[in-house]
Amino acid sequence: MDTTKNDAVDAPTTSTEDLNVTVLGTGLMGGGIARTLAAAGFAVTAWNRTPAHAEPLRAYGVSVEPNLAAALADADVVLVVVYDAASVMDVLERGIGAAPAGAVWVQMATIGVEESRDVARFAETKGAHLVETLMMGSKDQAENGALTLMAGGNPALFDQADPVLQAISVKIVHCGESVGSGSVVKLACNLWLACITSAACQSVELLKGEGVDPQLFLDVISGMTTDSPYAHLKGGKAITGDFSAQFEVNALLKDLGLVGEVMARRGFRTDLLDRQKALYDEVRAQGHGHDDVSAVALAFASPRDTPGLS
Point out the residues that are catalytic: 186
Helix, strand, coil percentages, rounded to 5, for the chain: 55, 15, 30
Longest dimension (CA), the chain: 63
The Cβ of residue 112 has, within 10 Å, a number of other Cβ atoms equal to: 25
CA distances from 272 to 195, 230, 269, 275 (A): 8, 19, 8, 5
Give the Cα separation of 246 and 128 in Å (integer).
Answer: 32
Per the CB < 8 A criterion, the answer to whether 130 and 120 are in contact is: yes
H or E element: which one contains 77? strand 77-80
Give the Cα separation of 149 and 215 in Å (integer).
Answer: 31
Give the Cα separation of 21 and 255 in Å (integer).
Answer: 27
Per the CB < 8 A criterion, the answer to whether 259 and 203 are in contact is: no
Per the CB < 8 A criterion, the answer to whether 57 and 23 are in contact is: no
